[in-house]
Structure 1
Amino acid sequence: MLNYPLFVLFRDDWNNEQFLFTDPIEIICARNEQEFHLAFMRLEEVRKQGKWLAGYLSYEAGFLFEKSLRHLVQDQQDVPLLCFGVFHNLSAPDHPLARPYLGQKTFFHNPQISWDFETYQQKFDQFHQNLCHGNCYQGNLTFPITAQWSGDPLRAFWSFTEHEPVRYGSFVSLQGPLILSRSPELFFHINDKKWIEARPMKGTMPRGANIAEDQKIIADLKKDAKNLSENRMIVDLLRNDLSRIAVAGTIKTPFLFEIESYTTVHQMVSSICGELTHDLPIKDIFSALFPCGSITGVPKIKSMEVLQKLENKSRGIYCGSIGFIAPSSIMRFSVSIRTISLFPDHQAIFNVGGAITYESTAQSEYEECLLKSKFAIGNITNHSP
Structure 2
Amino acid sequence: MSAPFVLFDHGPIPGGTLFRDPVDVIRAETPDDLDGAFDSIERARADGHWVVGMAAYELGYCFDAKLRPYLPKDRAVPLMEFGVFRDAEPAGEFAQGSQDAHLVNITPDWDEARYARAFDVVQDYISAGDFYQANLTFALHAEMVGTAMDLYRSLRAAQPVPYGTYHDLGGPVILSRSPELFFRVKGGVIQTHPMKGTIARDPDPARDKAARDWLQGDAKNRAENLMIVDLLRNDISRIAKVGSVKVPDLFAIETYATVHQMVSRVRGDLVPDLTLRDMFAALFPCGSVTGAPKIRAMQVLAELESGARDAYCGALGWIAPDGDMEFNVGIRTLRLDRGGQVHFNVGGGVVHDSTAASEYQEALWKARFARLPQTA
Q: TM-score range by the shorter chain?
A: over 0.9
SS of 2:16 mapped into structure 1: strand
- Residue 12 in 1 paired to residue 10 in 2? yes
1:17-36 equivalent positions in 2, closer than 5 A: 17-36=15-34
Counterpart code for 2:89: S
1:173 aligns to what? 168
d(CA) in 2 for partners of 1:93 and 1:85?
Answer: 17
- Residue 49 in 1 paired to residue 47 in 2? yes
1:83 to 81, 84, 89: 81
- Residue 102 in 1 paired to residue 98 in 2? yes
Contact 2:7–2:167 (CA under 8 A) maintained in structure 1: yes
d(CA) in 2 for partners of 1:332 and 1:206?
Answer: 28
Counterpart code for 2:108: I
Counterpart code for 1:162: A
- Residue 228 in 1 paired to residue 226 in 2? no
SS of 2:170 mapped into structure 1: coil
User: Deviation at 1:5?
Assistant: 1.8
- Residue 335 in 1 paired to residue 333 in 2? no
SS of 2:9 mapped into structure 1: strand
- Residue 134 in 1 paired to residue 129 in 2? yes
Contact 1:10–1:20 (CA under 8 A) maintained in structure 2: yes
Task: Tell me the number of residue pairs that the alignment of Structure 1 and Structure 2 aligns.
Answer: 372
Q: Cα–Cα, structure 1 residues 118 and 74, in superposed 2: closer, same or farther, change >3 Å? A: closer
SS of 1:136 mapped into structure 2: coil
- Residue 198 in 1 paired to residue 196 in 2? no
SS of 1:279 mapped into structure 2: coil
What's the CA shift string for 1:17-56, capped at 9, x where partnerless?
2111010010001111111221111111111111100001
Contact 1:253–1:273 (CA under 8 A) maintained in structure 2: yes
1:145 to 134, 140, 147: 140
User: Deviation at 1:350?
Assistant: 0.4
d(CA) in 1 for partners of 2:112 and 2:72?
Answer: 28
d(CA) in 2 for partners of 1:270 and 1:293?
Answer: 13
Contact 2:103–2:372 (CA under 8 A) maintained in structure 1: no
1:328-367 equivalent positions in 2, closer than 5 A: 328-367=322-361
2:295 aligns to what? 301
User: Deviation at 1:129?
Assistant: 0.3
d(CA) in 2 for partners of 1:262 and 1:76?
Answer: 34
1:244 aligns to what? 238
- Unpaired stretches in structure 1, ≥5 consecutive residues: 380-385
1:383 aligns to what? none
Q: Cα–Cα, structure 1 residues 267 and 57, in superposed 2: closer, same or farther, change >3 Å? A: same
Contact 2:102–2:372 (CA under 8 A) maintained in structure 1: no
2:155 aligns to what? 160
User: Deviation at 1:12?
Assistant: 3.5
What is the root-mean-square deviation in Å for CA atoms of aligned residues? 1.6
Counterpart code for 2:242: A
d(CA) in 2 for partners of 1:169 and 1:93?
Answer: 13
Shift >4 Å, 4+ stretches? none
SS of 2:67 mapped into structure 1: helix
- Residue 210 in 1 paired to residue 208 in 2? no
- Residue 115 in 1 paired to residue 110 in 2? yes
Contact 1:108–1:147 (CA under 8 A) maintained in structure 2: yes
Does 71-80 or 164-173 show the bigger shift?
71-80
User: Deviation at 1:71?
Assistant: 1.6
Contact 1:29–1:175 (CA under 8 A) maintained in structure 2: no
d(CA) in 2 for partners of 1:349 and 1:151?
Answer: 16
Contact 2:7–2:91 (CA under 8 A) maintained in structure 1: no
2:319 aligns to what? 325
Counterpart code for 1:301: I
SS of 1:169 mapped into structure 2: strand
d(CA) in 1 for partners of 2:352 and 2:224?
Answer: 10
d(CA) in 1 for partners of 2:316 and 2:91?
Answer: 20
Q: Cα–Cα, structure 1 residues 51 and 76, in superposed 2: closer, same or farther, change >3 Å? A: farther
What's the CA shift string for 1:332-358, capped at 9, x where partnerless?
000010000000121100000000001
d(CA) in 2 for partners of 1:209 and 1:306?
Answer: 38
Contact 1:32–1:74 (CA under 8 A) maintained in structure 2: no
Q: Percent of counterpart pairs with the same letter? A: 44
SS of 2:339 mapped into structure 1: coil
Does 77-86 or 65-74 show the bigger shift?
65-74
- Residue 187 in 1 paired to residue 182 in 2? yes
Counterpart code for 1:151: G
What's the CA shift string for 1:340-385, capped at 9, x where partnerless?
0000121100000000001100000000011000010269xxxxxx
Counterpart code for 2:103: F
User: Deviation at 1:226?
Assistant: 1.2
User: Deviation at 1:218?
Assistant: 1.3
SS of 1:36 mapped into structure 2: helix
1:376 to 365, 370, 373: 370
Contact 1:9–1:19 (CA under 8 A) maintained in structure 2: yes
d(CA) in 1 for partners of 2:16 and 2:4?
Answer: 17
d(CA) in 2 for partners of 1:207 and 1:93?
Answer: 31
Contact 2:3–2:170 (CA under 8 A) maintained in structure 1: no
- Residue 260 in 1 paired to residue 254 in 2? yes
- Residue 39 in 1 paired to residue 60 in 2? no
1:64 aligns to what? 62
